[in-house]
Chains A and B, each alone.
Chain A
């Protein structure tokens, strides 16, 4: 079992376990960007005026490098000159926005920045999905007097199941790969509390110069990616079988 040595070491490493936990936290927290993306898309789709402007505004973070975004958010979180100091200067001393300094809140800070960055992307996917829905459905629902909530929860969202699945898969793959934003915001700190698998692998390679160890971590990343892609592959196979 010599070949498995690196993997045993890996799963006995607290930092790796921490990385996996953080990956899950980041994944669950980032789901907010799908929810927000859907809400914004649904509202923009119903709002006739200014669709182009709203779309442009919600999507612009996507054009910016994650390093830039990380640096900007690190600065907003800065306790002495950032958002917190602004609120304290107007007397709201109960506001605590120094999230990156504490191991308990650092991941929330990273989640906030990632959600801000990626919401526009999911909004764009959702908008494409909403445009594909037959406009007769809205008209029919209106004539039948279907309530707003029932229309969305029982008709529109089930119709967009495929779009939602695509969004979740793309989001998960993005979370497995997350690296730049962590480097720019926290560099893994404080005290290794914001390590994620991609950061762990690169760190093991450069700082500890341990190729086998880094490869084991990278291989785990590959495994996560493959598992996340299985639904895509399976659906392609099923479609081909149905067609043929």
Chain B
């Protein structure tokens, strides 16, 4: 550390944060410049995508990907939303947007309500074999999707929900249950035992304690889980591809088809607009609720 100033200062004076902030040292400037450059590098793809989506195809063909559009146009956005072709269908990504919404909402209700109740029972009530169940959940959380893909196809086909948005929602809920239950359980374990004991003596029933004590305490963790689930369901590709059939494909599947469909004369500005439309919902959530987002993805990192 090139630090000549502390040598002249008597050693009783602590080298505190306030002192450090007033003097800007060369190495701090270097760190700052390095970080700014790294941040710019991270933003390049986003910048290129945004800029390209506002260009006309003629302009894209010039290959000047870093320059701003000479003529800003919304044509690609409109085309991507209403007319772009995915396979044989040419209705744009709005079909996928609607499908993704119809997948997202039921899957959120199912996965969160079931996992929070299971976790509540496991963490705060005496359940037989709770440890065994916990281990099973942990194993289920990490099993690769490919292992259970075929049985799930058979089950959903048997139930008649294969190829529907509801079927995809159910599969998402099943896949998310283990990890969500584990996250909720870890949170509920932090509730003091005395509080639960007092509530039980107060003749609180299973449901009364849940709705009057546990649920009001769970605000933060619910937001974290909600964001985790919204992002992972919205960004999912493989479940939507496997269970979507022809009519229930989510936005990511439509986007991928769309990018593959126009291979001959690729209309890149439309591809980029469609990509941005698909990425928008989770990105907006991320920029608004970043703190909860980070907690969610670190907690959900184990998911298989």
Interface residues of A (CB under 8 A from B): 40, 43-44, 46-50, 53-69, 71-76, 78, 80-83, 85-86, 89, 116, 120-121, 124-125, 128, 139, 142-143, 145-148, 170, 173, 176-177, 179-180, 183-184, 187, 198, 201-202, 205, 211, 214-215, 217-219, 221-222, 225, 229
Q: Is the CB of B65 within 8 A of A47?
A: no
**Number of B interface residues in the complex (CB < 8 A):** 68
* Across-interface contacts of A187 in B (CB, < 8 A): 260
A-B contacts, 7 listed (Cβ < 8 Å): A49-B32, A63-B283, A63-B293, A72-B49, A75-B52, A170-B301, A187-B260
Give Cα A70 to B31, complex, Å: 31
- Smallest CB–CB gap between B189 and chain A, Å? 15
Q: Which of B46, B271, B275, B298 has the most CB of A within 10 A?
A: B275
Chain B, 29-52, CB within 8 A of any chain A CB: 31-32, 34-35, 38-39, 42-43, 45-46, 48-49, 52
Interface residues of B (CB under 8 A from A): 1, 3, 6, 11, 14-15, 17, 20-21, 28, 31-32, 34-35, 38-39, 42-43, 45-46, 48-49, 52, 60-61, 63-66, 142-147, 149-150, 231, 234-238, 242, 252, 255-256, 259-260, 268, 271-272, 275, 278-279, 282-283, 285-287, 290, 293-294, 297-298, 301-302, 304
Of B142, B256, B302, B304, which is within 8 A of A183 by CB?
A: B256
* Across-interface contacts of A75 in B (CB, < 8 A): 52, 268, 271-272
Q: Is the CB of A54 within 8 A of B235?
A: no
* Across-interface contacts of A146 in B (CB, < 8 A): 1
Give Cα A55 to B279, complex, Å: 19
- Smallest CB–CB gap between A126 and chain B, Å? 11
* Across-interface contacts of A63 in B (CB, < 8 A): 231, 279, 282-283, 285-286, 293
* Across-interface contacts of B15 in A (CB, < 8 A): 139, 142-143
Q: Is the CB of A47 within 8 A of B238?
A: no
Provided the pairs A44-B35, A65-B278, A215-B150 are in contact, do residues A225 and B256 lie with their beta carbons within 8 angstroms?
no
Main secondary structure of the interface of A (DSSP, over half): helix
Q: Is the CB of B63 within 8 A of A89?
A: yes
* Across-interface contacts of B66 in A (CB, < 8 A): 86
Q: Is the CB of B297 within 8 A of A121?
A: yes
- Smallest CB–CB gap between A118 and chain B, Å? 11
Of B17, B28, B45, B144, which is within 8 A of A76 by CB?
A: B45
Of A57, A128, A145, which is within 8 A of B1 by CB?
A: A145
* Across-interface contacts of B144 in A (CB, < 8 A): 176-177, 198, 218, 221-222, 225
Chain A: which residue is nearest B131 at the CB level? A240
Provided the pairs A64-B283, A139-B15, A173-B142 are in contact, do residues A72 and B272 lie with their beta carbons within 8 angstroms?
yes
Chain B: which residue is nearest A170 at the CB level? B301
Q: Is the CB of A66 within 8 A of B35?
A: no
Chain B: which residue is nearest A46 at the CB level? B31
Chain A: which residue is nearest B148 at the CB level? A218
- Smallest CB–CB gap between A26 and chain B, Å? 16
Sample of 10 further A-B pairs with CB below 8 A, known A47-B31, A202-B149: A55-B290, A60-B286, A64-B283, A71-B259, A86-B63, A142-B3, A143-B11, A145-B1, A177-B304, A184-B259
